[in-house]
Amino acid sequence: MDTRELLIRASEIVKRHEHLARTQGAYFNVFDILDRATDEVKGHSAFIAEMLNPEGSHGQGNRFLNLFLAQLKAMEAHSAIDLPTDLNELQWKVSTELAFNWPESGRLDIALETPGILLAMENKVYHEDEERQLERYWHYGQFRRLDTYLLYLTLDGRAPSARSVGSMPKEGQRRVIEIDYGVFIDEWLGDCIQASSEIPFVREVLRQYRSLIRKLTSGLHNKDVIMEIADALMNVENLRAACEIQNALTEAKVRIQEAFWHDLGEELERRLPPKDRAFEKWLLPTREKIERNYKSKRGAHGLGVTATPLSPTQSLTFSIEVVWNVYYAFSVVENEARVKITDEEPLSGVINAIQRIDPQFRKELSVLRFVLPEKKQNFRAFDDECIKMLVPDERRRRAAELGDGFIDILTRFRENYVATP
């Protein structure tokens, strides 16, 4: 089977399973409907913590927590971690967004705590690592004299960046446990679904969440699609053809994203006043940056304009850009580079003006404030919204939508912001 025949075969499998999923209501998902599919804090962390909490509204006590801890213990057989032997026998307290100020400030996404032990979970769905994030969690646990383990949860099980690890001692680095949504959480949810087979309200919500996780990690609601395509690859000729397709896939994604930025640039140039039509060169979405983003999963690119000067050397840039999702951002820029802001007080007027536009604007280490558009678009996972960009009319429609958001935010900021002398 050559590459063309293999693509046709795979397409037929996907279409058949998508038809089946649609007729069975698999696309009806409460997390998508309530716009929590990519929300790390109020979506994923909140749901996982509620499932782990023995006092959770599921009414199952520590059943789901024990399944999680058992799966964590099972990882010892093929990793260097060494967890206490009696995890399931301990009384655990589960919290989300646990803020701390000593010895440094930080916030744990999920904290599982029992006398003498802390399991600190950092949940990364799409956001980048923050400066010394895991290192700060480790020092917090040591400050409280707790036997600390750092659970680093991502879509694909990747290791934390050097930026997050910082100068954490070797002992702390050995306590970092990398877990993923695609395997660890998926299998844990499977165990939870089985354990709640006689509890329909809980069981069906778990099934919906598991379906969402599978969509985020593989782009598909049903892993049966992957298994059937894998079966079709199990001969030398087909596997060789699949490798050729895989090599070409990144190039196809790069081309589609290039076309997207080209159309969005034209849309903005058509609608922006003349003084804003020269986009910031340091941020421009060059082919090199787009390729690097797919290969290294680091770095932002997009289209930005100067929202207002801040000083003779600094300006406030407003941009639409992408690392994982497309997002709008305000950044302080000096010498064509973002400035890390440690003291926000001098920028209080700017920040207040931004928050008046939309209270959903959030702080992120690399930017002053950012917000996702109402309709998410993830170029890393290459979701359906990205695939639609292959069709010129769909791409121009999306460029117009995002252009509306860009013009609206920039205009309202300039109306709200009054520079102080």
Return the pLDDT at 233. Answer: 77
DSSP string, 147-215: EEEEEEEESS-PPPPHHHHTT--HHHHTTEEEEEIIIIIHHHHHHHHHHTTT-HHHHHHHHHHHHHHHH
3-class secondary structure, 299: coil
What digits encode the pLDDT tens for the residues 81-114? 677 777 888 899 999 999 998 888 889 999 999 9
176-180 vs 106-114, strand pairing mode: unpaired
Helical axes 3-23 vs 236-271, angle rounded to 10°: 70
Furthest-apart CA atoms within the chain: distance in Å:
72
Q: How far apart are CA 230 and CA 238, in angstroms?
A: 10
Return the pLDDT at 52. Answer: 96
Q: How far apart are CA 216 and CA 382, in angstroms?
A: 10
Rounded alpha-carbon distances, angstroms, from residue 394 to 151, 374, 386, 389, 391: 40, 17, 10, 6, 5
Q: Using the predicted structure, report yes or no on whether residue 78 has a pLDDT greater than 60.
A: no
What digits encode the pLDDT tens for the residues 190-214? 999 999 999 999 999 999 999 899 8
What digits encode the pLDDT tens for the residues 387-417? 889 999 999 999 999 999 999 999 999 998 9
CA 205 to chain centre: 21
Q: Using the predicted structure, report yes or no on whether residue 76 has a pLDDT greater than 80.
A: no
Which helix (H) or strand (E) is 93 found in, with range? strand 93-100
Which pTM does this prediction carry?
0.65
Q: Are 364 and 343 spatial neighbours (Cβ–Cβ below 8 Å)?
A: no
Q: Using the predicted structure, report yes or no on whether residue 24 has a pLDDT greater than 60.
A: yes
Rounded alpha-carbon distances, angstroms, from residue 316 to 139, 225, 417: 34, 46, 12
3-class secondary structure, 339: coil
Find the radius of gyration of the CA atoms of the chain. Answer: 23
Q: What's the CA angle centered on 44, arms 176 and 30, to 5 degrees? A: 160
Confidence of residue 219 (pLDDT cuts 50, 70, 90): low
Confidence of residue 23 (pLDDT cuts 50, 70, 90): confident
- The mean pLDDT of the chain is 88
Q: Which residue would you say has higher pLDDT here, 244 or 319? A: 319
Following CA atoms 109, 112, 118, 123 in sequence, which dihedral angle do they give, to the nearest 10 degrees?
Answer: -30
Following CA atoms 169, 172, 178, 179 in sequence, which dihedral angle do they give, to the nearest 10 degrees?
Answer: -160
Return the pLDDT at 385. Answer: 82
Return the pLDDT at 298. Answer: 67
Rounded alpha-carbon distances, angstroms, from residue 206 to 95, 191, 221, 270, 380: 20, 10, 14, 47, 25
Residue partners of 400: CB distance under 8 A and separation at least 6? 267
**Domain edges within the chain:** 28-220, 251-416
Contacts for 245-249 with beta carbons within 8 Å, 24 or more apart? Answer: 245/3, 245/6, 245/7
Q: Output the six-digit token pair for 274.
A: 């003349």
Number of other residues whose CB lies within 10 A of the CB of residue 293: 22
Q: How far apart are CA 356 and CA 415, in angstroms?
A: 11
Mean pLDDT of 257-275: 95
Q: How far apart are CA 54 and CA 169, in angstroms?
A: 33
What digits encode the pLDDT tens for the residues 139-151? 999 999 999 999 9
What digits encode the pLDDT tens for the residues 287-331? 999 998 887 766 789 999 999 999 999 999 999 999 888 999 999
Q: Are 181 and 214 spatial neighbours (Cβ–Cβ below 8 Å)?
A: no
Q: How far apart are CA 68 and CA 400, in angstroms?
A: 45
Q: Is the bond into 54 cis (omega within 30 degrees of 0)? A: no
Which candidate, 271, 270, 248, 252, places its Cα nearest to that of 260? 252
Percentage of residues of the chain with pLDDT beyond 90 = 57
